[in-house]
Amino acid sequence: MEPEKRAQPHHPIAAASTSRWSDLAREAAEQLRAQDRWRVIRTLADTGVRSRLADGRAVVQFASNDYFGLSEHPAVIEAAIAATRRWGTGAGASRLVVGSRPIHDDLEAALADWKHAEAALLFATGYAANVGVLVALARLGAALGAPIGIVSDELNHASIIDGIRLSAAPFNIYAHADAEAARQRVVEHLDAGRRPVIVTDSVFSMDGDLAPLGDLAQLAAETSALLVIDDAHAVFAGCGADLVASAPSRGGAEVVVVGTLSKSLGSLGGFVAGPTALVDWCRNTSRSFIFSTATPPGVAAAALAALEVLQGAEGVELTAKLRRNVDVLAPAQASAVVPVVVGTAERALEWSDKLLERSMFVPAIRPPTVPEGSSRLRVAVSARHATGDLEALREALADLRRLDPTT
């Protein structure tokens, strides 16, 4: 007699979930569309502030973070071409496996000098740099039996938020740009026996406002905390990590600067700059560095050439031009990011579409990138914009406000 076959139990979730994964994705996508949160990637035929849409329409774009237009600079382009011809289009593997090209070493030395640091380390992206440094710092604390506690501004970049999560370190959040609130959070970690790490953007990417770096540096010095600054959007003197670059101005605080090659320098990649011992530790423990292919030589060469332009006489002129351009739209703004907050995601999309009808490409920024009720147009000003471009945008925004006075 054959043994009795027992029915296999069905897991309740498996029994209930009969839809295909693609069907689930379509259903979830419809929910995002209903909330005006669905994203599509727009194709532009040209680079730079003057571009064309895929249908051939000419537009002036106010979306790019290439604030000085250095991705189009002849010296930057030629440097990328020369390095690519010499070393090829790719680096081959992680630098810990295949080694560096001389251009990597040269760029790291230049970046360290730029940020007034002892050393610097290249990462594939700025996102990877933020994730890498925070995970490495958590491993440092764990290795020595001195766990860290992270103190983070509530409006920090998504890469910082993800880095905190991946670090698995205890963390708390302080009210935006409030140094006294940060102090309270630091004390909470100290009381729990943790070494504080304060992390903040220097210029916040969606609002364009500044962190109180001087106060945070003083707080770090008083409490032996480490101050980590994401300097990605700093373009003007006095608004970025240069505020706390020298020992006297930071009161002896230890500072690590995270930067990007893709904004002011018009290339691609990120870096961590700071004390040699901490940079060496990142080189050995930052998984986003260890397990990523190195920056292509041509990309590194472009960044180095852009940095040379930016630090020379032409860079002074470009910075002054960028400042004048920002002043056309927002004289009090301390960065090249000018937010136009309109409230709902629907209104942000409508305004963006109306500007596109006037040949201006200004992206709508919606939740979850920004908090609910604060959807906006994010205007990125470039030194390459003509004064007339900005005056036309200013007039168009004024027209939209007159037509929609609820904003």
Chain segment 205-239, per-residue pLDDT in tens: 999 999 999 999 999 999 999 999 999 999 987 77
φ/ψ of 74, rounded to 5, equals -55, -40
Nearest CA to 297 among 98, 112, 97, 88?
88
φ/ψ of 345, rounded to 5, equals -65, -40
Q: Evaluate if residue 2 carries a pLDDT over 70.
A: no
Separation of alpha carbons 74 and 99, rounded Å: 29
Q: Evaluate if residue 363 carries a pLDDT over 90.
A: yes
Q: Residues 323-343: pLDDT tens digits?
A: 999 999 999 999 999 999 999
At residue 166, the pLDDT reads 97
In the chain, CATH 3.40.640.10 sits at 74-310
Specify the CATH number of the domain 40-67+336-403: 3.90.1150.10
Percentage of the chain exceeding pLDDT 90: 85
Decide the pairing of beta strands 375-380 and 364-365.
Answer: antiparallel
At residue 10, the pLDDT reads 59
At residue 405, the pLDDT reads 73
The confidence band for 378, taking pLDDT boundaries of 50, 70 and 90, is: very high
Q: Worst-scoring range by mean pLDDT, 39-43, 120-124, 191-195, 382-386?
A: 39-43
The listed CATH number (1.10.645.10, 3.30.300.30, 3.40.640.10, 3.10.110.10) that belongs to domain 74-310: 3.40.640.10
φ/ψ of 53, rounded to 5, equals -75, 170
In the chain, CATH 3.90.1150.10 sits at 40-67+336-403
Task: Supply 245's token pair.
Answer: 């670059």
The confidence band for 6, taking pLDDT boundaries of 50, 70 and 90, is: low
At residue 7, the pLDDT reads 56
At residue 248, the pLDDT reads 47
Q: Evaluate if residue 16 carries a pLDDT over 60.
A: no
At residue 55, the pLDDT reads 86
The confidence band for 250, taking pLDDT boundaries of 50, 70 and 90, is: low
The confidence band for 265, taking pLDDT boundaries of 50, 70 and 90, is: very high
Q: Residues 105-134: pLDDT tens digits?
A: 999 999 999 999 999 999 999 999 999 999
Q: Evaluate if residue 9 carries a pLDDT over 60.
A: no
* Residue 364 CA, distance from chain mean position: 17
